């Protein structure tokens, strides 16, 4: 498994061997959201960076999941349709959201690494 990258919106990204990138939300994000009851997954199409590609609904509220980079969505996680709770139970694994092909293959490496993301979480906790 390759090294993970993160966004300030609490998504994780993992570069796959075929050049695609898998996206999910972090353990921190799922904990903050609470019990996930529904995930509206993206369409298989191109999205601009920052577009609200997906929506995650917890018992409390709806939250947007944003496209981390420009790219084409290739696949969504079909398991979330019937088992949205996977986002809580295994956010970094079985609870993945979608896989996309980034327009710029080098852009992924420029996102936050684990250390930078951990610092962000720590700063949030102290704010």
Partner 1 sequence: MSTETLLKTPLHALHLELGARMVPFAGYDMPVQYPLGVMKEHLHTRDQAGLFDVSHMGQIRLTGANAAKALETLVPVDIIDLPVGMQRYAMFTNEQGGILDDLMVANLGNDELFLVVNAACKDQDLAHLRQHIGELCQIEPLFEERALLALQGPAAVKVLARLAPEVIKMTFMQFAPLRLLGVECYVSRSGYTGEDGFEISVPAASAESLARSLLAETEVEAIGLGARDSLRLEAGLCLYGHDMNTETTPIEASLLWAISKVRRADGARAGGFPGADRIFTQQQTGVSRKRVGLLPQERTPVREGAEIVDEHDTVIGTVCSGGFGPSLGGPLAMGYLDMAFTALDSEVSALVRGKKVPLRVSKMPFVPQRYYRG
Report the interface residues with partner 1, using CB under 8 A: 34-35, 37-38, 40, 55, 57-62, 81, 84
Given the complex with partner 1, which of 8 and 52 has the nearer CB atom?
52
**CB-nearer residue toward partner 1: 61 or 123:** 61
Q: How far is the CB of 122 from partner 1 (least distance, A)?
A: 18
Collect all residues with Cβ–Cβ distance below 8 Å to 122 and sequence separation of at least 6. none
> Measured over all CA atoms, what is the biggest interatomic distance in the chain, rounded to whole angstroms?
39
CB-wise, 55 or 92, nearer to partner 1?
A: 55
Min dist. Cβ of residue 73 to partner 1 (A): 17
Helix (H) or strand (E) holding 27: helix 27-33
The distance from CA 89 to its chain's CA centroid, rounded to whole angstroms, is: 15
Give min distance, CB of 126 to partner 1, in A.
15
Phi and psi angles of residue 28, each rounded to the nearest 5 degrees, phi first: -60, -45
Closest to partner 1 by CB, 19 vs 34, is: 34
| CB 88 to partner 1: min, Å | 8
Give 77: exposed, middle or buried? Use CB within 10 Å, 0-12, 13-18, 19+.
buried
């Amino acid at each position: 498994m390759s090294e993970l990258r993160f966004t300030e919106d609490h998504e994780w990204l993992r570069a796959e061997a075929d050049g695609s990138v898998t996206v999910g939300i972090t353990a921190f994000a799922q904990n903050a959201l609470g019990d996930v009851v529904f995930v509206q997954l993206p369409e298989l199409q191109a999205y601009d960076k920052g577009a609200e590609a997906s929506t995650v609904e917890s018992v409390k509220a709806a939250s947007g999941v944003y496209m981390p980079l420009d790219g084409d969505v290739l696949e969504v996680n079909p398991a979330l349709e019937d088992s949205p709770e996977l986002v809580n139970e295994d956010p970094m694994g079985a609870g993945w959201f979608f896989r996309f092909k980034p327009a710029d293959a080098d852009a992924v490496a420029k996102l936050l690494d684990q250390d930078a993301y951990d610092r962000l979480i720590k700063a949030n906790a102290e704010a």
